[in-house]
Amino acid sequence: MNDTPSQPILAYLAFLRGPLAGKTYPITQTVVTIGRNSTNNVVIIDPKLSRFHARLSVQKGSWWIEKLSQNTTIKVEEESIQRAKLAPNSQIFLGENVSFLFLLTLTPDTTEDAEATLPRKEVQPPGATTAAAPPSEMGIPSLEVVDNTTGSSREYPLIQDVISIGRDQTNTIMLDEPYVSDFHVQLLHQDGQWILLHPHPLRSETAYGLLSSGQRTPGNQPLRQLMKHGDIFRI
């Protein structure tokens, strides 16, 4: 239990890919560093990241991101940058494996749920400024992906209106499994509802199709299905 008065939340990082995928972190300081070293505010153990990879900061009322090393790679909306001003809902890519959304707000009355402390590996314990909570606990629609072989699971926030799922690294949610096609399915947010499309619009078919509601959809059969809370889809 922490009796220290809570600091106001200035922004959120909703991780889509990498070791922190499925986690959303409130930011409570105007300067935040990201990298492998344990002294960073947000620590990400990924071999493709630098020890000190990126810095987020507030300057003249706006959020900026900048590289901390010439050898690092940062992209904002697929464009490589040295330093860039961030707009709400910007998608940021760090190195080859990590991406997150930069958010200024979540749904109303949900920020108090973000109080679970990060594991030691993922954040600097002294004066740590971030905390993690599953997206579903913060009022964000989410997709839980479960590996039936290992039993491991990850929860991904559904923040973008178009979400691609597949084995290719350019997907919003990358599933590096042999039974998943490079572009397998797409999720669309339309008129307040989520719709699943199979196969992905970039492909005419998938290798193993899809199983939903006890019915199998062959890889070459189109499916457009309205998604409801609790639906289970299997690849």
Tell me the pLDDT tens digit for each residue of 27-36.
888 999 999 9
| Residue 71 banded pLDDT, cuts 50, 70, 90 | confident
From CA 134, how far away is CA 113, in angstroms rounded?
9
pLDDT digits (tens, 9 = 90+) for 155-208: 888 777 888 899 888 888 888 888 999 999 999 888 888 999 999 988 999 999
C-beta atoms surrounding 1 within 10 Å = 2
Q: What is the pLDDT of residue 120?
A: 33
Determine the pLDDT at residue 23.
86
- In tens, the pLDDT along 73-111 reads 999 998 999 999 999 889 999 999 999 999 987 544 333
Comparing 4 with 22, which gets the higher pLDDT?
22
Query: Could you identify the residue written with the tokens 């935040």?
Result: 32
Please determine, for residue 144, whether its predicted confidence score (pLDDT) is greater than 90. no
Query: What is the predicted pLDDT for the residue at 108?
Result: 40
DSSP string, 90-128: EEEEETTTEEEEEES--STT-GGG--BPPPGGGS-STT-
Going by the DSSP 8-state scheme, the letter that residue 184 receives in this structure is: -
- 208 burial (CB, 10 Å; 0-12 / 13-18 / 19+) is middle
Q: What is the mean pLDDT of residues 42-49?
A: 91
* Bond from prior residue into 218 cis (ω within 30 degrees of 0): no
